[in-house]
Chains A and B, each alone.
Chain A
Amino acid sequence: MGRLRTLFARLSALFGKRHMDADLEAELRAHLDMLTEKNVGRGMNVDEARRTAMRAFGGVEQTKENFRRQRGLPFLETLLQDVRYGLRMLAKNPGFAVVAVLTLAVGIGATSAVFSVVDRILFRSLPYPQDERLVSFGVTAPFESREFILSPDYVEWRNRPTPFEAMTSVYPGTVDCDLTEHNPVRMICGQADANFLSTFRIQPILGRSFTRDEERPNAPRVVLLSYGFWRARFAGDPQIVGKSISLDGRSTLIIGVLPADFEMPTLARADLLLPLALNESTVRDPTTPQLVLRAFARFKPGVTIEQAVAAMQPLFLESLNYVPPQFRREVSFRMRSLRDRQVQDARASSWILFGAVLAVLLVACTNVANLLLARAAGRQRELAVRAALGATRGRLARQNLTESLLLAVVGGSAGCWLANLLLRLFVSIAPQGIPRLEQASVDLRVLVFTLGVSLLSGILFALAPALHTPAPELLMGRESRATGRTLLRQTLVTAQIAVSLILLAGAGLLLRSLWNLQSVPLGMETESVLTAEIALAEYRYPRSAQQLAFFRDLEARLQRVPGATSLAMSDSLPPSGGMQASFLSSIEIPGRPKLAEGTGGMIGYRFVTPGYFPALGVAIARGRGFREDDRMPGENPVILSEALAKQLFSNEDPLGKQLRFGSDNGPWRTIVGVAANVKNNGLAAPADPEFYLPWKDDREGYFRIVHLIVQTPINRLAIAQWIRSEAAAIDPTVPVTIEAMRQRVGKLAARPKFNAVLLSIFAGLGVLLAAIGIYGVVGFLVAQRTQEIGIRMALGASPPAVLRMILSHVARWVFAGALLGLAGAWLSSRVLESLLFEVRAHDPWLLGLAVAILLATAFFAAWLPARRAMRVDPIVALRYE
């Protein structure tokens, strides 16, 4: 209390000093006067009385000094004094200040912007209490690399003893659902087990969670609203709980509202949350379809992942008994932390970008350190004077540190502003699928990080000049040799070059990998191909007959597309994945035994109209493509991809052979053609073998999403417009997403492109900063050696020889830096390996190119100021002495 009060009193004493000084002066004078008066009263003469009074009082100035020290905050006052002085120094040399602040702003700004993105991915805790105890678990299989669990297993495991405090599950992915009231809207619904909220310890802000009763088949429908939906649709109505909405045409009771920071553990969007009704899908019976679920659990305190995996092993082995024998070897159990599950492959690239931007920051700090060293060289006289007047080494270092921190804070503030801009830029060029990117913002946490980085860098680059105390001899006015300092500066430049080379090599690898990815042969046409995705709402088209009728109608209307060379419909589109899939083992060929064990790998298939092959430009290698009469009810033709034909028949001629697939003893199909291989698993992953079936009207099963493919040389916009209007003529509520094929393919490379672009920007910045550093040091070197150069020239050295001398000097530390950088790049490129496509991490050509670029830049940066050495006039240089 007293201490706080003292601090406050001292703080307020920082203002109105003049008044307080006058006050003290008057008080002390009164004291002395009274003392003198008393002495006079004792019979002394005035002079003596005054002297005695002064003696009794002790030093007046000393008292004032002590008084002032007690009055204010000397530490703060010195600081303010240093800051004022530092600001004056910066103002006196605005060029230096601008360059230093800009350099820092770029370094700190870029670092903060990247931090604000990767923080959400790598560091910040998930929006669930005690998120470190949450895991995702399940089995993986050849057709699904992310862990999942089948509904019967889930219910069985949930009732058994596990290392978990609680276990829950959600429906994977998203489900469209429609709000069918006035202003109908398409929304995305999540589905979760009744214990979902309690397992994740999420409290609804209004209302309650689901109950087990609400999962029953004929229970009244209930729903939880997301915060955003509640605000947008119901204006945050606090009385919303207990009201009903019409969802997919059924009245649904609102039982609660989720908190604002709620998110599904799968990171899927969810406007509404519905109970996950497992019902009959939990029965182990080959005829009832089982649901694929994503399971999550909360550990009991103190349980580790290894222990939990071991504890779950018996349950997993038990469930394996229900897996068809040929799958068993390809199914395995997996458990990982929720964060790992969410960020997946974003982790590696996040660390790489963060590392890269920290490297840029390091180069920026080094540059500023170099600038400060150069300035310190110019200020040696001043510092020597201060030292001679009694400033201690500590006091000088403090002054130095204050000035550096001043720079850091100014640079950091500018960096903050820049970070905001850069973040907006990142978000606008970022591809889909970077987890939580839309949440990234320069918030308090990022600001604290920025401040920390600024101060740390301030201390970092202040260290270099602070290591030197000026020698008193400097007072004599002679230029010092200051070799130690030059050595330090060269070391800094060497480090910059090394770091820049590592960045450059990394960027080169990513760019090369991107190039490979974008020029990968797709086996199909992407130019002048337009695609349209049409998704039918399940509640409007619940039966496949209705779905087929819609598309039959659409196809008939589209026959008249003006200017389309060919048009096709398919249930999936290459080169992205997502086609229907089966196993090689499920393909049966007459006269051959089935595969003895294992699945033989995945085989994809699509339903296509005859226009598919010409519209996508997929070549028919043998036989023929589909014809219209292949779609008649009795016809069962099939076309294989070359890869599948080779796998099934090796060198035999497949044409005319028969096969059937699936466990349901489907019809025998005759192979009528072999089509060229097409990338069908994304750009990087190897393609799966596939086969094509004709799009027929009598097909069973779901058919809600269809892709239209139009090959057209003319105006795409007009065609797009036309497709939309034809679809709307049948049903105006059906959404149509139109995209050029080239765009679709481009999206597949968007992530690598984003990484490559960012890393290239950072590498460019690093090289630029290093070049500025070299420029500065060489300029300083030339200025320092002017006399020596003058003498050499007077003795007959030619200007080119002088240039060579300077450059060969530069070459030593540039090559040292390049060597260090090569070693660093060699080691660090291994980190990049997971992001590379068809490039070796140690590609010698790329490394060589990076070295060449760096050396060229370095020598250019050195050559600019070194030219000045050539122009040194010996007479002038010698007279300078």
Chain B
Amino acid sequence: MPPSKAEVLQGTLDLIVLKTLDTLGPLHGYGIAQRIQQVSEDLLHLNQGTLYPALLRLGQRGWITSKWGVSENNRKAKFYSLTKSGRKQLAVEAGSWERMAAVIARMLTGAEGA
């Protein structure tokens, strides 16, 4: 039986999108979705449609901007890119995520040790 796919944790989608844009530079929604599937090696279950409200939200906060462009296979697509404040936000969120993960890891190992 294949391992069940994990749902994207509430609130982590923003971080994932920001990180993706940081790594790959300007990218359209499809590209972001592909990248997430690829990196997670299909372990993460993502309804690709949920990306769009998230992208809108990040845009409203001013962390990313978008503009229409042409994709690698000559298709018209909207490209998203990280802004300066988005980069700052990424650093903040990544930091807090790492702290959180560390705490949880310690909790789990501690529990096992007991």
B-binding residues in A (CB < 8 A): 2, 5-6, 9-10, 23-24, 26-28, 30-31, 33-35, 37-38, 56-60, 62-63, 66-67, 69-71
Contacts and interface: CB of A to CB of B under 8 A. Distances in A.
B47 A58 contact: yes
Contacts of A35: 30, 48
Interface in B42-56: 47-50, 52-53, 56
Interface stretch (B4-12, B18-26, B59-67, B100-108): B59-67
25 contacts: A5-B61, A5-B62, A6-B60, A9-B59, A10-B60, A23-B78, A24-B52, A26-B76, A27-B29, A27-B77, A28-B52, A30-B71, A30-B77, A31-B33, A31-B48, A33-B75, A34-B75, A35-B48, A37-B73, A58-B48, A58-B49, A63-B50, A66-B50, A66-B52, A67-B53
B75 A30 contact: yes
* Interface hub of A2, A24, A60 (most chain B Cβ within 10 A): A2
Nearest to A27: B78
B57 interface: yes
A87 B52 CA distance: 35
Contact of A60 (B29, B49, B60, B76): B49
Given A38-B34, A63-B49, A66-B50, 7 more contacts: A5-B60, A5-B61, A9-B60, A30-B30, A31-B29, A37-B73, A60-B49
Contacts of A9: 59-60
Given A27-B77, A30-B76, A30-B77, A70 B56 contact: yes
B60 A63 contact: no
A60 B50 CA distance: 10
Contacts of B60: 5-6, 9-10, 70
B49 A57 contact: yes
A63 B33 CA distance: 15
Nearest to B50: A58
Nearest to B34: A38
Contact of B61 (A2, A23, A59, A71): A2
Interface residues of B, number: 23
B29 to A, nearest CB: 5
* Interface hub of B53, B61, B76 (most chain A Cβ within 10 A): B53
* Interface hub of A31, A66, A67 (most chain B Cβ within 10 A): A31
Interface string B73-95: 10111100000000000000000
Q: By DSSP majority rule, is chain B's interface helix, strand, loop, or mixed?
A: helix
Contacts of A6: 57, 60-61
Contacts of B33: 31
Contacts of A30: 28, 30, 71, 75-78
Contact of B56 (A26, A58, A62, A67): A67
A19 to B, nearest CB: 13
A24 B77 CA distance: 11
A21 to B, nearest CB: 13
B50 A70 contact: no
Given A30-B76, A30-B77, A59 B49 contact: yes
Contacts of A59: 49
Given A6-B60, A9-B60, A63 B53 contact: yes
Nearest to B48: A57
B49 A70 contact: no
Which A-B residue pairs are the 10 nearest by beta carbons? A58-B47, A63-B49, A9-B60, A58-B49, A70-B53, A34-B30, A6-B60, A31-B30, A66-B53, A57-B48
Nearest to A69: B53
A6 B60 CA distance: 5
Contacts of A70: 53, 56-57, 60
B38 to A, nearest CB: 12
Contacts of A58: 47-50
Contacts of A34: 30, 71, 73, 75, 77
A2 B62 contact: yes
A66 to B, nearest CB: 5
A51 to B, nearest CB: 14
Nearest to A8: B60
Contacts of A62: 49
* Interface hub of B33, B49, B50, B78 (most chain A Cβ within 10 A): B49
Given A5-B60, A9-B59, A63 B52 contact: yes
B89 to A, nearest CB: 8
